[in-house]
Copies of this chain bind each other. A is one copy, B any other.
Amino acid sequence: MGSIELKKAGLKVTHPRIKILEILENAANHHLSAEDVYRALLDSDTEIGLATVYRVLTQFEAAGIVKRHHFDGGQAIFELDTGDNHDHMVCMKTGRVEEFKDEMIESRLQAIAKERGFKLSHHSIILYGVYADNEE
């Protein structure tokens, strides 16, 4: 149950928060926009305002429960923060998102930052392309 995460984050255990956590955990696609979450809630007969979805997602982000990404296309995408700091590949044809993590790249980025006197806080790597099995 997500109630533990919520308490740990100092957030009251409310119906909307539990439901949204469930959606994020169980969704087939783990990368959802606020609108996606909202629709998933409606699909499970849960009436929660879109404003609340945004508020909850923002609180979850502050609490380190979710991560917010800005892929091309305007709206923010959220996913559970598993702690590993993975990066993303986005299929431009289907919208499918996959994750990857590469130590060689990570350490190279650290080195580049160091060379330049840049205190690295976090980074975003996004690969845009098409999965071979999705081509026509």
A117, B132: Cβ atoms closer than 8 Å: yes
Q: How far is the CA of A102 from the CA of B108 in the complex (A)?
A: 9
Q: Is A6 an interface residue (CB 8 A)?
A: no
Known interface pairs A102-B108, A104-B104, A113-B129; 14 further A-B residue pairs with C-beta atoms within 8 A, sorted by A's residue number = A70-B70, A91-B118, A108-B108, A109-B127, A112-B127, A117-B132, A118-B132, A119-B129, A119-B131, A120-B127, A120-B128, A122-B129, A123-B125, A124-B125
Chain B contacts of A128 at CB under 8 A? 120-124
Across the interface, which residues of B come within 8 angstroms of A100, CB to CB? 112, 116
Tell me the chain A residues, 7-46 only, with Cβ under 8 Å from chain B: none
Q: Report the nearest B residue to A125, measured CB to CB.
A: B125
Which of B70, B91, B102 lies in contact with A72, CB distance below 8 A?
B70
**In the complex, A50 Cα to B124 Cα: how many Å?**
30
- Check if A119 sits within 8 Å of B135, measured CB to CB: yes
Distance in Å: Cβ of A46 to nearest Cβ of chain B: 29
User: Is the CB–CB distance between A121 and B130 below 8 Å?
Assistant: yes
CB A54 to nearest CB in B, in angstroms, measures: 14
Which of B118, B123, B130 sits near A126, CB closer than 8 Å? B123
